Amino acid sequence: MSGHKKLDLTLAKRLDSIMQQRRLYPSDVSRLTGIKVRMIHNYISGTCQPSAFMVKKLAEGLNVSADYLLGVGEK
């Protein structure tokens, strides 16, 4: 087994879904949130996880709850 920690892809899937439903590009999300386009790509691909501060910025910019983005309370 590899020493790499498996990332939870809930946020990546939720962010991608929101963007598809609203027909948003990463540049649109960047404009709404103030997060760099490269980081939006990283979050969507699951390459990295956003900090709590960035989750807050995503939630506020996209007008959804942080709990929704993180899948809190849905197991």
- In 1-75, which ranges are continuous DSSP H helix? 10-21, 26-33, 37-45, 52-62, 66-70
Residue 29 to residue 58: CA distance in whole angstroms:
8
Read off the amino acid at residue 70.
L
How do the domains of the chain map onto residue ranges? Answer: 10-69
C-alpha distances (whole Å) from 64 to each of 5, 14, 58 are 27, 10, 8
Residues 10-69: name the CATH superfamily: lambda repressor-like DNA-binding domains (1.10.260.40)
Output the pLDDT for position 12: 95
pTM for this structure?
Answer: 0.86
Per-residue pLDDT reduced to its tens digit, 14-68: 999 999 999 999 999 999 999 999 999 999 999 999 999 999 999 999 999 999 9
Of 26, 70, 75, nearest in space to 49 by CA? 70
Phi, psi of 40 (to 5 degrees): -60, -45
pLDDT per position as a tens digit, 10-23: 999 999 999 999 99
